[in-house]
Structure 1
């Protein structure tokens, strides 16, 4: 089954109410994960976030030379540190780093970068080489090996369609748009009969996972409440759900969500200000919730985008580029800045040269936080030193 068919097919199960065939109602829920284990939370910034205006080389004159229209002045940036500083919308990112809970990995990318949104997201989600096409996600492959039995909520994706990162041979993950509407029809309600065609076995497994996972999610939510005020945004609501599931001992290995709107070819200053404010406020609420619950050490939040933007602006924005920073929050990370400042004097045809391969970050997360041999899912990159 190809990726597009997988996304469109399984996405039909995520609108909130699932019509199940009769034979699936007999299955109950199960839980095989241990309370208190580490989990990973991913926020994907869709569209290609401009890293140079997020964590800013404010002390480099080339930054202002290349970005005559969109550069942030030295008076605007905050929390200066060895020639770098945060966008003013990220005031709480600065606080988290000062607390020792946020690490910035600079110049993250991959060889032979692809500037297509769809293809570059696919590369990040499958952990493939730029000329390699994989049908399974890197987290899906991890869950296939980590889950000794089928575990429908080992991974939870908050979105309206499934995420390729979590696709494996077994449906060990579930996609939820709104847990309040995520329920299973009773036996008396209308059902849909699936064909006896063997090719639909995977669809049956997905439907079965939704049936099992719905009860597990509702049970976890019933045991938790929000102790922090979250912003009234899509990302804020998704992180509030994730925090409640973690506090309610759903015991998922992986949570995934995304934020759209980072394709800033035009009107970048205003758009990025709005997006980064939403990102900052949602994450800081999540961070404070976990700190109050004394769970931050068990949760590692990863923020990334499929690529950065071109170094030189196009007038009012920036076009598709290559390397950009990644942000790691919680999980007892060392709260440092890893990597050299962006080298604006040594570009590759106008783009930043990557210094850290994103698969090295994946490998480090799997080994350090999940106690998992990352080579088993096809990653052979070296680890990132100094992250944890």
Structure 2
């Protein structure tokens, strides 16, 4: 009889968790069995969210020295070679010959003068006026022709297949994974997760260290911390057991009684503890977010701005949460422009430019523009050649890095030749071979974040194949 009652109680408990919190569990805290096993082996304290095992190495961070990294992932493969365009006569003629009906008219491009390219001129896409302004004010830089690599490679070596290549080179999922893992061997942890494992101070809540907005990402997958995903409008609430409604009080008391029980099954008992801490997180942090005053910076339309607004709100309550290091991930879809390339790119770039400028201005409003560095990522670029009405999957690509600690107003790395079948073209169709690896791109912001050279080699195991000092765009 006791066994039957125990099984019924456990089933009721699990059903209650699923029914009462299904929306939050699906969107806000993503756990797998390996996470529970990992947590079960950790040292468990008794004080709320800090009960997760905190064995991560602590950086020597002075009190109040807050820093955040924000990865803005452009899903689908952004056409970076239309994002910033060479406008010197020879280079622009080469660009138009290759891009055909995908080319942007020179008169429409927004001129910029990179500090390191005194004899060359460039222009931003006409829909990137806000990014042009940030570039000219020294708050935005361009990382030229970056992409997934196993080792440096030339066109000839690519054609001969004499050097190693990333697996499934032009596949969305595979190349997104390699960007996020930053490891050709595809570790089970992501770059952001490995950085979290090194950068979490002992007094910092590991549940709030790595946060994805509006969807989970393996970029934040970690050995020692949990990756937290919240909605673009904040935390989903436990509405069925809310503390501030009369009709939920009896239900809340019953639910809390379930959470107060001890269960012999370690999986269920840890699940119970996780739900208790999650409930406390939702109600505590959610209520703190609600107290953040509206920003005076006018928010543009679009989901990216809303997601970045939520990042800014989390940063705004950093002191209340005891945060000194945080990493954020925000995705923006729609960049797989196989058709309607020109019109779709106009809309995408409008939203990207306005949203990034909005986010920078909000960090300035909060007084943390020197402490927040944002950077774009995208699985690959687009072909220079047209398929008629669009472009196809390619390889190398330009990226953006933004923040008060960025050496803006410049282009870093090597601008490639845009000649079809030229020295940087892999397949005679405008698939440009990257001249800077993702590892090299990430060295500068991770050093700024506090990682040592030894730690950089640990979080990016393939960095030894490249020159780690090739680019430096941080102050």
TM above 0.5, yes or no, is yes
More helix by share: 2
Q: How many residues align?
A: 370
Which residue does the alignment assign to 2:306? 237
SS of the counterpart of 2:70? Answer: strand
Gaps in structure 1 of 5+ consecutive residues:
1-9, 19-25
Distance 1:61 1:155, change over 3 A: same
Alignment of 1:106-255 (within 5 A): 106-111=144-149, 112-113=165-166, 114-129=169-184, 132-149=185-202, 151-159=206-214, 161-184=215-238, 185-186=241-242, 187-188=252-253, 207=275, 210-214=278-282, 215-249=284-318, 250=321, 251=323, 253-255=326-328
User: In the alignment, which of 415, 419, 433 is matched to residue 353 of structure 1?
Assistant: 433
Structure 1 residue 169 displacement after superposition: 1.8
Question: 1:62 Cα deviation (Å)?
Answer: 2.1
CA offset digits 1:225-281 (Å, max 9, x no partner)? 312111131111111111122122253511111110000000000001001101111
Q: 2:136 aligns with which of 98, 110, 125?
A: 98
Structure 1 CA distance for aligned equivalents of residues 359 and 24 of structure 2: 29
The range that moved more, 58-67 or 179-188, is 179-188
What is the alpha-carbon distance in structure 1 between the residues aligned to residue 459 and residue 84 of structure 2? Answer: 31
Name whichever of 52-61 and 325-334 sits farther off.
Answer: 52-61
- DSSP-derived class of the 1:94 partner: helix
Instruction: Measure the CA separation in 2 of the matches of 1:68 and 1:202.
Output: 59
Asked if the contact 1:224–1:244 (Cα under 8 Å) also holds between the matched residues in 2, the reply is no
Of 272, 279, 293 in structure 1, the residue corresponding to residue 366 of structure 2 is: 293
In the alignment, structure 1 residue 66 sits paired with structure 2 residue 98: yes
Deviates more, 1:236-245 or 1:91-100: 236-245
TM-score with structure 1 setting the length:
0.85
**Per-residue CA shift, 1:33-59, capped at 9, x if unaligned?**
954411101110000001111112344
User: Measured at CA, do residues 374 and 198 of structure 1 come closer, stay the same or move farther in structure 2, by a change above 3 Å?
Assistant: farther
Q: SS state of the match for residue 208, structure 2? A: coil
CA shift at 1:72, angstroms? 0.3
Residues 65-84 of structure 1: per-residue CA shift (max 9 Å, x gap): 12221110101111243232
How far 1:179 moved relative to its partner? Answer: 4.4
Aligned residues of 2:148 and 2:175 also touching (Cα < 8 A): no
The corresponding residue for 1:13 is 25
Q: Distance in 2 between matches of 1:348 and 1:201?
A: 55
Q: CA 1:86–1:121 in structure 2 vs 1: closer, same or farther (change >3 Å)? A: same
1:23 paired residue number: none
Distance across 2 between alignment mates of 1:305 and 1:268 = 17
CA RMSD, Structure 1 to Structure 2 (Å): 3.1
Once structures 1 and 2 are overlaid, which stretch shifts more, 118-127 or 280-289?
280-289
Considering only CA atoms, is the larger Rg found in Structure 1 or Structure 2? 2
